[in-house]
């Protein structure tokens, strides 16, 4: 009787430990057994829906053209020149087309993983702008962090200027923070009276030239995103 009760206690402890770990794993971006198993099951789901996936090819091709082929910012265009060093937007790898299958407040999941060559730090974009960065990769799904989430930051540059800085999410706003504090006054003297466009500035696997958003108010340097990222379904995964 004691052994039976002891076995129940052990079973209860294991179940409690498993669920506690899964909650912590999902919250703090650790390895999740549940997501791993779900990712493996997606293989079967994908095979059973090949016809459905084929019907999406037209939509994907249209998305591909919108994001890359018809994107002026990703053409061989000079965006920054200083001390004789010239950087061109000429090194963007198209990794995969993916659907967002689950959304959370600060994270979302796509239906592609390391079996599809997805890596951590890959960039997720929609037709208009970057929407997030891959943080965790499973066999057939990946977890990504929204750009509109706490502690998010990415190196960026204002198009057609030498002004570089960090795009950060601060106080519920996406903000451009220049590396050079003296450039703030120069940014404010926008004689064209047109919004500034912020772009990613390549480092590690982040491509250069992915649109982030527009700066309309040069006093706050807040960034306005053109396309609502939370309503995005079809995405493209890019890498430098």
Predicted pLDDT at 37: 55
Range with lowest mean pLDDT among 17-21, 185-189, 218-222, 228-232: 17-21
Is residue 219 one of the residues assigned to a domain?
Answer: yes
Residue 20 to residues 42, 55, 103, 126, 217, Cα–Cα distance (Å) = 25, 40, 21, 34, 45
Q: What CATH number has the domain bearing residue 122?
A: 2.40.10.340
Does the residue 6 lie in any domain? no
Q: What pLDDT is attached to residue 7?
A: 62
Q: What pLDDT score does 214 carry?
A: 92
Side-chain half-sphere CA neighbours of 52 within 13 A: 6
Q: What is the pLDDT of residues 26-57, one digit of tens each?
A: 555 555 555 555 554 444 444 444 444 444 45
Contacts of 81 (CB under 8 A, 6+ apart): 87, 162
Q: Which structural domain, as residue segments, surrounds residue 166?
A: 31-240
In-domain check, residue 164: yes
The answer to whether residue 195 sits within a structural domain is yes
pLDDT in tens, 64-79: 666 666 555 554 334 3
Chain segment 83-123, per-residue pLDDT in tens: 344 444 445 777 888 889 989 889 999 999 989 999 999 99
Residue 62 lies in a domain: yes
Given a cut of 70, is residue 129 above it in pLDDT? yes
Which whole-number Å values give the CA distances from 155 to 85, 89, 146, 163, 212, in the listed order?
18, 15, 15, 11, 11
- Mark residue 121 as left, alpha or beta (left: phi above 0; alpha: psi -120 to 50; beta: remaining): left
Domain membership flag for residue 1: no
Domain assignment present for 26: no
What total number of domains does the chain contain? 1
Domain assignment present for 20: no
């Amino acid at each position: 009787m004691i052994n039976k009760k002891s076995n129940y206690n052990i079973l209860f402890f294991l179940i409690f430990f498993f669920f506690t770990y899964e909650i912590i794993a999902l919250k703090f971006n650790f390895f999740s057994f549940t997501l791993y198993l779900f990712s493996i099951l997606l293989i079967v789901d994908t095979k059973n829906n090949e016809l459905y996936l084929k019907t999406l090819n037209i939509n994907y091709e249209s998305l591909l053209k919108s994001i890359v082929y018809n994107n002026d910012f990703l053409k061989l265009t000079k965006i920054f020149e200083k001390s004789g060093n010239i950087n061109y937007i000429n090194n963007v790898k198209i990794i995969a087309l993916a659907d967002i299958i689950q959304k959370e407040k600060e994270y979302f999941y796509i239906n592609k993983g390391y079996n599809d060559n997805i890596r951590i730090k890959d960039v997720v974009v929609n037709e208009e702008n970057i929407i997030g960065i891959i943080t965790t990769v499973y066999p057939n799904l990946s977890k990504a962090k929204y750009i509109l989430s706490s502690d998010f930051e990415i190196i960026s540059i204002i198009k057609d200027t030498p002004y570089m800085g960090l795009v950060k999410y601060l106080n519920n706003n996406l903000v451009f923070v220049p590396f050079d504090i003296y450039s703030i006054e120069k940014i404010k003297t926008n004689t064209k009276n047109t919004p500034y466009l912020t772009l990613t500035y390549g480092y590690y696997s982040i491509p250069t030239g992915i649109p982030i958003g527009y700066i309309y108010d040069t006093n706050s340097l807040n960034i306005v995103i053109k396309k609502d990222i939370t309503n995005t379904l079809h995405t493209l995964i890019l890498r430098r």
